[in-house]
Structure 1
Amino acid sequence: MNKEQEGLREALCTLGNGYFATRGAAEEAEADDVHYPGTYLAGSYNRLKSEVAGKTLENEDLVNWPNWLQLSFRLDGDKNWFRLEEKQVLDYRQELDFSEGILRREMHFKDKKHRETKITSTRLVSMANPHLACIKWEFTPVNWSGPVMMRSALDGSVKNEGVKRYKALSSKHLKIIEQGKTNDIIYLLVQTNQSRIYMAQAARCHVYSGNKKLRTNREILEEEGKISERFSFQASQGKTVTIEKIISVSSSKDRAINEPLNSSLETLRNELDFSALKARHSEAWSRLWKQFDITLKSPGNSQLLLRLHIFHLLQTSSMHTIGRDVGIPARGWHGEAYRGHIFWDELFIFPLLNYRLPDLTHSLLLYRYYRLGAAKKLAEKEGLKGAMFPWQSGSSGREESQVIHLNPKSGKWLPDHTYLQRHVNLAIAYNIWQYYEVTADRNFMKFYGAEMLLEIAHFFASITTWSEFRQRYEIRNVVGPDEFHTAYPGSDEPGINNNAYTNVMTSWLFSHAKKAFELIGTTRQEALKQKLKLDDREFSKWEEISRKLYVPFIKEGIIAQFEGYEQLPEFDWEAYREKYQSIQRLDRILNAEGDSVNCYKASKQADVLMLFYLFSAEELVQLFKDMGYQFNPERIPDNIEYYVSRTSDGSTLSRIVRSWVEARSDRECAWHCFREAIVSDFEDVQGGTTPEGIHMGSMAGTVDILQRCFTGLEVRDNVLRLNPYFPEEITSLGMEINYRGVWLSLEFSGNQCRIKSRDGAASPVKIKFRDQLFEIKGKMIKTISY
C-alpha cells in the first residue's frame, strides 16, 4: 500500500447511486492523515459560522454524514482492533468493478504472533434500492484457530475534515438524536445543527459458515455519537467465515416517508441477504450500461478510463436523482472540495444526459427553476432586474461563494471575487436550449425553460450600459471563465470589462430567449408577460442590445479576452516552469511572491476558446454577423494558438476545451489533449485535488468529446447532424443515443457509419450526415460510407 496515494484511491473508489455516496475508505479505517471515510447525501447542506482573519464567515458545506463502514476485529490476546497498517502485509489487492459497481479488497497479512489471515471484502451501494448498501467479509484463518471478536459500528461523531484548506473553519455539523438496538439491528439518528436535516442509519450483521448462519454472542456498546455491536465466533484454520453487514439510509429529505428512523428500520427488516442484494444491484447497473456505454477501440487504457468516468457520473446523478431537489456538484458526491456546491460544470455534463436519460436533465434543470425566486432576489439586491443565479449554489440558491479564501502557498486569506462570474447564468440558459433541441420537450419550455431564459435575459439587459464613445453596449465588472483575471492591475474595483465570452454569449441569449418565447403559445406568452412585467418594448431593447454588444479585438481576427487584455505585459512562462514544479495555479504562486496574475497575459483556462467549444464555425460567424462584426473562421486556429500559449491549464476543463477546438484542424493535438484530460483524475495531475473529490465536468467532458466532438454530433433546425473527424488512434466507436424519444445505435468503423433505429421511430427522424440528408423510419438500418 502507498499511503500517499490512499486519498486518491478512496475518491476514485467511491460507491454511490445518485442518492448517497460513500468514499472507498477501508472498513477498519478512521479519519486520519492517511484515510478519510466520507458519506454524502445528495444535496444535503449545513451552514456554520467561523472566525477567520478577523472576520465572521458563514459557509454552507456538503455534510459528511455518519460513517457506516466500520467493521473490524481482534484476536485472542490483541489489545487493539485490526488496522492493516499495523500488520505485515503479505499480499494486497484492491479492485473496482464498475461494470457492476462493486469494490473488492483482498488482504493477506501476518500479525506479531505470526498468525496469518486472509480477508476478502466486497462492498456495494445499491443501484436497485437507493437506501441500501452492504459489505461482505470473507474471513479465513490461514495457520491458526481460535476465538474472533468482530465489531460493527455506526459512527456519528464525524466532522467535515476532508479538505486541509478548510481546517480553520467550523466543521461539526451533526448532533445525535437517538441511538440504540432493536432485535438484531443497531441504529443511529442524527440531525444537522443548522439546516435540521435528519438522517437515520440502521445496520444488521450476520455471520455464516458456508450456508449456515452462526449464532453469536452479541454486546452493544454506546459511546457519544457512536453505536457499536460486538460479536464473537470460533474460527478454524483454513475455514472461511462470512460476515455480512447490510445498512439502510433514510433522511427527512426523502419522498413518501413518515419518519426517517422508522423508514430505515422497516427497509432493513424487509431485505434479504448479500447475494440477493448484489443480484438486483448488478441488474440495475446492467440496464444503465446499455444506455450509457460507449465502446472505443484505441491504444492504451482510454476505454477503461472512459467507463470509469461514466461510472462516476452515474454514481453522482442517476435515475434515483430524478424528482429530488438536487443539482450536480462540481466534485461529485465524492469529497468536500468546493463544499459540494453547484457551479457551471453542468455545461460539460448535461450533453451526456440529454442523449441518454433526458428525464434526469429535466430534473436537474428544475433545481435551477426552484431557485429562480432566489436568483431574482440576488439581482434585486444589486439593483438589477431579472434573475441572477449565483456562481456557487447550494441548498437555497443564495450566493455561496467564499468572501475570502485561503492561499495555501502563502497561508494568507485573500478576498474572493470569483462570484462575479455572471456567465454561470449563460451556461444555465445554454443548457436549457440544448435540452430542448435534443428532446423537443415543449412542455418543459412552456412551463419552466422559457421563464428562466426570459428572466436571465432580463438580468443581462439590466447589466449592460451604453457607451457613447463606442456607440455600443458594454458589460462591465464581471469575471470570465478564465477566473485568473478578477480586476485590472492596481484597481481596487473588482471585475473586468467586456469579457468577450460573456458578451458574445449574451447576444446568443437574447435571440434564443425570443425563440423560446415564440415556442410556448399565446396563452402562456401573455401569462409570462404579465408575471414578469415584460412588454414589446423590452423585447425590442433586447434585440437592439444583441446587435450592438461590444466585442474587443486585439488585432484583425484575434478576439481579446476582455477590454484592455492586449495592454498587459507578456508573462515569462519558461522561467516559472523552470522555477516551480507546477504552475497550474499561477495565481497562488504570484500572490505568494507579492505579485498578481491580474498584471499579465496569463489565464487559468482560455475563455475565448469556449466560444469555439460551444458553437460551430458557422454558428459563430452568424453570431458575429448579427452583432455587426465580420469574423473569418479561418482565423480560429490563430485564436487557439494565441491563447494556448498564454494558459496555465489550471483547470481540469482546460484540456477538454482544447481537445474540442483542435479536433477539426489538428487531430493529433486533439487526441493528445484528450489523453491528458482522460487521465487527469486517475493520475491526480493537479497534485492532491482529486482526493478531495473527482472533477465531474472533466470526467463527463472527456466522454462528450467522443460522443459529440469527434463524431460531429449536434442538433440544429430539427435535424440531427453527424460530421465525423476521428483521430487516427480511434479505429472504431459505438454508442446509443436517445434523440427525441427514439433510440439510435451509431457505429463508426473505418470509413463507414452504421445507423440503426433500435425501437422503431414513431415518426421519421431527420439526419444529416455531412451533406447527405435522409430520414430514419421505423426499424431501419442505414449504412453510409465517407
Structure 2
Amino acid sequence: MNEWMLSFDGYDPSDERRREALCTVGNGYFATRGAWAGSRAGGRHYPGTYVAGLYNRLTDEIEGRTVENESLVNLPDWLPLCFAIGDGDWIGPDDAELLEHQQELDLRRGILTRRFRLQVADGNILSGTERRFVSMADSHLAAQTLVVSAENFSGVLRFRSGVDGSVTNSGVDRYQKLSGQHLVDLEPSLPDDNTALVVARTSQSHVRLAVATRTTVRHNGLPIDEPIRVVDSSSAYSDYAIAVRPGDVVRADKAATVYTARDIAISEPVLAALSALPERPVFDELAEPHALAWSQLWQQFAVELEEPADGTPAAVRLNLFHLLQSVSPHSSDADAGVPARGLHGEAYRGHIFWDELFVFPVLTLRMPALTRTLLRYRHRRLPAARRAAAQIGCRGAMYPWQSGSDGREESQRLHLNPLSGRWNVDATYRQRHVGLAVAYTMWQYVEATGDDEFLADHAAEVIVEVARFFADLARYDETRDRYVIEGVVGPDEFHTGYPGRPDEGIDNNAYTNVMAVWLFRRAAEALDRLPGWRRVELTDKLGLRPQEVSHWEELTRRMYVPFHDGVISQFEGYADLAELDWDHYRRQYGDIRRLDRILEAEGHQVSAYQVSKQADVLMLLYLLPRHELDTLLERLGYPINTQLIRRTVRYYLARTCHGSSLSAVVHAWGLASLDPDQALMFLSQALRSDSGDPAQTGTTAEGIHLAAMAGSVDVVQRCFTGLTMSGDVLRFDPHWPAGLGRMLMTLRYRGQRLTVEVGTDHLRVAADQGTAPPIKVRCHGTTRSLAAGETVQWPDA
C-alpha cells in the first residue's frame, strides 16, 4: 500500500478470493466484490453483489434436525464484460499465460483498476485495462469499462456484456452442505441490443429485484452496433464481434443499476432499473460525481497521520474506505444495520452482531445523522426483542446475538468444525451482552450529539427495556448476599458452558455483570433526562413501576463480580479450569487462533481450559474510562487500583489466542497506558487484520471484518487521545505514541465541526466558523469554552 492506493502485483490464485474482498467497491446501499469480470464462482474466484438488508431464509435437514438460516442474498452479477479470440472460450486469468497483471484500488476516488497482458495458446497477445466503481453519488448505479488491444494478431475479437443470473450463495466453504439457491422466478431479457436485464424474486422473503446494464462498444473510436443477442434461462448477454488487426483497440463502457422492492420512491424495480440507466454509459463522465462524493466523505472522515515507516496511515485509510463502502449516507433508508462482514462476502450470512459497538464511535464523531438512522434498525426490532425476553420468562428486551431482517435470533444451533467434519451444538446465542452493546451505543450517541429528541423518542425506551431484562435475569444469591447472572456467554465465545455441560452457559461473566450495573445507572439517568410529560408517557406505556427503578439502584450496589489471585475473573470458576500447554500447541499447529476447533478435533472441550478466543474482561477497559470503571466497582464494594488492572491485563494476555480480529483492538486499548510499545504492536495487527499477510488474515476471503477495521481507527482517534464524552464535556487525556508522529483529524461534536491536532507534547482543537453554541473541552485537568471559529490548545501557546 501507498498513501491512497492498495495494489496487488502479479496473480496469485490461492489469494485471489481474499483480494476480491479487499478490492470490493460499494456505496453503503450495494457492493460488488473485486472479481475478474465474467469469472464464475469456484475455488479461485467468487463474484458477489449484495444489497444492504436484502435477506432470504432457507431450511435444511442436518443430522435429523431442521436447520434454518437467513442470509444476505447474492444478486445477479452485473460484472460480465468478457473477451475471446474468434470462436474460442472466454479468456480469464486462469485460461492464458499472464505476462503482466496488476490490480489497484484507488481509495481517494473509489475506483478499482485491473491491468493485464496475456498470451493465449496460439501465441496471440492481448493487453487491456478494466476499471469499475459503485457510485457514491447515486446509490443504485455502477459503471465499468474494458479496453483491450490486439498486440500481434489479426482476426475476430469477441466481447460479451450482460447480467449473469445463475448465481447462488456459495462463497463460504463451511456452508457448502447447506442450501444456497435464494433467487427464483428469474426473467432474463434484452429490452434492446445494448441493454440486458435480469429480474428475480427471493424464494422466502418474496422481494422482487432487478439488475440492468447498458453497454456501448467502440472499435478504434467507432461504435459497434447490432450485437448477437443471447438469452438463456437465467442470464442475458449481448455479444459483439470485431475484426481487428495488430494495434487495434476495442473499448466497452457499461453502466449497471440495481433496485429491489424494498427501495423507497420507486414504482417497482424493473421500471426503476431501466429508467435509471444512463443513455450514454461513458465511464469517465459517470465517474466525476462519484469521485466528488468520495472527496467530500474524505473531508469529513479525515484522519491524517505523519507517515511512519510501517505504513500505518495507509492502513487507516483502507479501513475507513471499507467502512464507508459498508455504511454510508446511502444506508439511511435501507433499514439494514451494520453487517459484521460489510457487504463484502457471505461469512456470518450478512448478519448484524454486537460488534457494531466498534463501528459507531467512528461514525458518530463524523456523521451523527448516519449513526442515528442505523440505530433505528435496533429500535424497530424492539418488539422482537421483547418477545424473545418473554419467551424465557423475563420482562424487557433481549436482543439476539445474530440479527437479520426482522430481529429474531438468527444464530446457528449447529456449527460445522471443518477440522473434524463434525456438527456440534452452537450455544453462542447465549451472549446476552449484545443488549448491553445496543444500549451502550444508544447512550454514547446521545452523549456525543446532545440529541435529546432521539433519547426521548427512541433511545430511552431501548435502554430501559434492556435494563428491565437484565434486572429480571439477575437472581439474588442468599449465600453471597449479592445478585448473580447465570447461564450466559461473554465476549469470549469459547466458553459456552462448563466441562461436562459445555452448552448451558457460564455464571457471573464479569464483563456482563459490570456492564449491567453500568446500564442500570444509565437507565435511571435516561428517565431523569426526559421531559416530565415524556417520562410519564413512557413509564405508563411500559408499565414501569417505581419499585423496578429502586431495584436497579439496589443492583448497582449488590451485583456479584468474581475475582481470583488478584485479578478480575472472566467468569465464576475460570480459575478452576485446566491450564493449556501453549508451547505444545504452537509447535504442533502453528496457527492456534481457532483452538476450539483444534481441541474438538482431538476429542477435547475448549471449555475445560483457561483459553480465551478474544478479549473478554478487557472489554471493560475498552468501553469504560478508568474513572468510571473504578466508580462502578467501588460502588459494588470492590476496591480497584492500577496494579489490579495491570495484573488482569497480563493474566488474560497470556491466555488468549486472538481467534477474533476484535481481540487485537481491545488489547491495544488495554495496553495503551501500561505498555505503549506492545499496544502499538496490537494496533498494527488490528489495522492489518484483513490486508496483512494472507497467512494471518483468516477468513477475509469470505468478507472483511468491519468491526476490526473501524475499531483499529478508533484506537487511534479515541484511545491514544483519551477522547471521551460525558456531562456535556468533550474530554481528552492523551498518551500519544511517539511512533505515530502527529495526527490531524476532523470531528463533529454538539453541532461543531472540529479539527483536532495531537502529538506527544500538545493538543489543539479548532472549531470551524458557524452558528453552533460554544462547547466545553477539557484536557490535563483544565476545561475551556470553545466557540465557533476559535481554537484552544494545551499547553498554552
Counterpart for residue 422 of structure 1: 432
Counterpart for residue 432 of structure 1: 442
- Gaps in structure 2 of 5+ consecutive residues: 1-10
Aligned 1:292-303 pairs, distance under 5 A: 292-297=301-306, 298-303=308-313
Aligned-residue offset at 1:237? 2.3
Please identify, of 143-152 and 128-137, the stretch whose mean Cα deviation from structure 2 is larger. Answer: 143-152
2-side partners of 1:163 and 1:759: how far apart?
A: 50
Counterpart for residue 288 of structure 2: 279
Counterpart for residue 59 of structure 1: 69
Whether 1:314 aligns to 2:313 is no
Counterpart for residue 290 of structure 1: 299
Counterpart for residue 750 of structure 2: 740
1:330–1:338 Cα contact (<8 Å) kept: yes
Aligned-residue offset at 1:269? 4.4
The share of aligned pairs that are identical, in percent, is 44
2:255–2:278 Cα contact (<8 Å) kept: no
TM, length-normalised to structure 2: 0.97
Secondary structure of the 1:466 match is strand
**Out of 645, 651, 660, which is 1:651 matched to?**
660
Counterpart for residue 763 of structure 1: 773
Once the two structures are superposed, residues 326-368 of structure 1 have per-residue CA deviations (whole angstroms, 9 ceiling, x without a partner) of 1111111100000000011111100000101111111111000
1:66–1:154 Cα contact (<8 Å) kept: yes
1:292–1:736 Cα contact (<8 Å) kept: yes
2:214–2:281 Cα contact (<8 Å) kept: no
Counterpart for residue 323 of structure 1: 333
Aligned-residue offset at 1:678? 1.2
**Out of 153, 160, 164, which is 1:155 matched to?**
164
Counterpart for residue 173 of structure 2: 164
1:681–1:694 Cα contact (<8 Å) kept: yes
**Out of 641, 644, 667, which is 1:635 matched to?**
644
1-side partners of 2:793 and 2:72: how far apart?
A: 49
Whether 1:363 aligns to 2:373 is yes
Counterpart for residue 525 of structure 1: 535
2-side partners of 1:607 and 1:334: how far apart?
A: 27
Secondary structure of the 1:305 match is helix
Counterpart for residue 48 of structure 1: 58
**Out of 6, 18, 37, which is 1:27 matched to?**
37
Whether 1:16 aligns to 2:53 is no
Counterpart for residue 4 of structure 2: none
2-side partners of 1:79 and 1:744: how far apart?
A: 59
Secondary structure of the 2:45 match is coil
1-side partners of 2:64 and 2:311: how far apart?
A: 50
Aligned-residue offset at 1:476? 0.3
Aligned-residue offset at 1:87? 1.1
1-side partners of 2:137 and 2:587: how far apart?
A: 52
**Out of 230, 254, 263, which is 1:245 matched to?**
254
Whether 1:39 aligns to 2:37 is no
1-side partners of 2:195 and 2:129: how far apart?
A: 24
Aligned 1:311-710 pairs, distance under 5 A: 311-491=321-501, 494-556=504-566, 558-683=567-692, 684=694, 686=696, 688-710=698-720
Q: Name the CA shift for 1:719/1:178 in 2 (closer, same or farther; >3 Å).
A: same
**Out of 128, 145, 149, which is 2:137 matched to?**
128
2:496–2:504 Cα contact (<8 Å) kept: yes
2:103–2:115 Cα contact (<8 Å) kept: yes
Whether 1:754 aligns to 2:764 is yes
1:761–1:776 Cα contact (<8 Å) kept: no
Please identify, of 487-496 and 440-449, the stretch whose mean Cα deviation from structure 2 is larger. Answer: 487-496
2:735–2:760 Cα contact (<8 Å) kept: no
Counterpart for residue 174 of structure 1: 183
Counterpart for residue 235 of structure 1: 244
Aligned-residue offset at 1:761? 5.3
AA partner of residue 447 (structure 1): D
Secondary structure of the 2:354 match is coil
AA partner of residue 249 (structure 2): T
AA partner of residue 746 (structure 1): V
Aligned-residue offset at 1:555? 3.0
AA partner of residue 244 (structure 1): D
2:754–2:767 Cα contact (<8 Å) kept: yes
Q: Name the CA shift for 1:271/1:127 in 2 (closer, same or farther; >3 Å).
A: farther
Please identify, of 625-634 and 82-91, the stretch whose mean Cα deviation from structure 2 is larger. Answer: 625-634
Aligned-residue offset at 1:141? 1.2
Once the two structures are superposed, residues 688-725 of structure 1 have per-residue CA deviations (whole angstroms, 9 ceiling, x without a partner) of 40000100110001100111011111112111011111
Paired residues, number: 783
Aligned-residue offset at 1:92? 1.0
Secondary structure of the 1:49 match is strand
**Out of 234, 239, 255, which is 1:225 matched to?**
234
Please identify, of 628-637 and 409-418, the stretch whose mean Cα deviation from structure 2 is larger. Answer: 628-637
1-side partners of 2:547 and 2:763: how far apart?
A: 49
1:389–1:424 Cα contact (<8 Å) kept: yes
Aligned-residue offset at 1:579? 1.1
Secondary structure of the 2:358 match is helix
Q: Name the CA shift for 1:637/1:435 in 2 (closer, same or farther; >3 Å).
A: same
Aligned-residue offset at 1:686? 4.4
1:62–1:341 Cα contact (<8 Å) kept: yes
2-side partners of 1:299 and 1:527: how far apart?
A: 58
2:671–2:678 Cα contact (<8 Å) kept: yes
1-side partners of 2:140 and 2:608: how far apart?
A: 51
1:154–1:187 Cα contact (<8 Å) kept: yes
AA partner of residue 242 (structure 1): R
2-side partners of 1:29 and 1:654: how far apart?
A: 35
TM, length-normalised to structure 1: 0.98
Aligned-residue offset at 1:223? 1.1
1-side partners of 2:791 and 2:556: how far apart?
A: 43
2-side partners of 1:133 and 1:323: how far apart?
A: 19
2-side partners of 1:450 and 1:685: how far apart?
A: 45
Aligned-residue offset at 1:91? 1.1
2-side partners of 1:177 and 1:111: how far apart?
A: 35
- Gaps in structure 1 of 5+ consecutive residues: none
1-side partners of 2:448 and 2:769: how far apart?
A: 18
Secondary structure of the 2:689 match is coil
AA partner of residue 494 (structure 2): F
2-side partners of 1:686 and 1:346: how far apart?
A: 23
Secondary structure of the 2:277 match is helix
AA partner of residue 554 (structure 2): E
Question: What is the aligned-residue RMSD (CA, Å)?
Answer: 1.4
Once the two structures are superposed, residues 212-243 of structure 1 have per-residue CA deviations (whole angstroms, 9 ceiling, x without a partner) of 45132311111111111112223332232211
AA partner of residue 293 (structure 1): A
**Out of 117, 142, 145, which is 1:108 matched to?**
117
2:216–2:281 Cα contact (<8 Å) kept: no
Aligned-residue offset at 1:628? 2.2
Aligned-residue offset at 1:687? 5.2
AA partner of residue 203 (structure 1): T
